[in-house]
Amino acid sequence: MLENLRHTYRALRTTRRCYSAHSAASVFSDSRTAEFLAAAVSPASIPQLHGLPEITVTGRANVGKSTLLNAVLGRAKLLNVSKRAGRTQSLNFFRVGAQPGKLVVVDAPGYGARGRQEWGDLFNHYLRERKQLRRVFLLFSAKHGLNEVDRAMLRLLNEECQATGGTRYTLQAILTKADTVLDMKDGPSHIRSIQKDIFDTAPTCLPAIVTTASKHPHFGIEEVRQSIADACGLA
Ligand SMILES: Nc1nc2c(ncn2[C@@H]2O[C@H](COP(=O)(O)OP(=O)(O)OP(=O)(O)O)[C@@H](O)[C@H]2O)c(=O)[nH]1
Ligand SMILES: [Mg+2]
Alpha-carbon radius of gyration of the chain: 17
Q: What is the pLDDT of residues 177-210, one digit of tens each?
A: 999 997 788 999 999 999 999 999 999 999 999 9
Fold of 2-231: Rossmann fold (3.40.50)
The whole-angstrom separation of Cα 157 and Cα 57 is 12
Say yes or no: CB of residue 179 within 6 Å of ligand 1. yes
Tell me the per-residue pLDDT of 10-66, one tens digit each, with 9 for 90 and over: 555 444 444 444 467 789 988 889 999 999 999 999 999 988 999 999 999 999 999
DSSP-derived 3-state class of residue 152 = helix
The alpha carbon of 114 and the centre of ligand 2 are apart by a number of angstroms equal to: 12
Domain boundaries, the chain: 2-231
Tens of pLDDT, residue by residue over 111-131, are 876 666 767 889 999 999 999
ipTM of this complex prediction, to 2 decimal places: 0.99
Residue nearest to atom 24 of ligand 1 (CA): 86
pLDDT (0 to 100) of residue 116: 67
Structure confidence at residue 22 (pLDDT): 44
The Cα 56–Cα 235 span in angstroms is 18
For atom 30 of ligand 1, the residue with the nearest CA is 177
pTM: 0.90
> What is the distance in A from the centroid of ligand 1 to the CA of 141?
10
List the shell of residues around ion ligand 2, using CB closer than 5 Å.
Answer: 65-66, 87-88
Q: What is the pLDDT of residue 2?
A: 41
Higher-confidence residue: 101 or 82?
Answer: 101
CA-to-CA distance for 68 and 176, rounded, in angstroms? Answer: 8
Nearest CA to ligand 1 atom 7: 64
Burial class (CB in 10 A: 0-12, 13-18, 19+), 191: buried
**Average pLDDT value for residue range 89-93:** 92
pLDDT-derived band at 84 (thresholds 50, 70, 90) equals confident
C-alpha 43/C-alpha 71 separation (Å) is 28
Torsion sign across C-alpha atoms 116, 120, 123, 125: negative
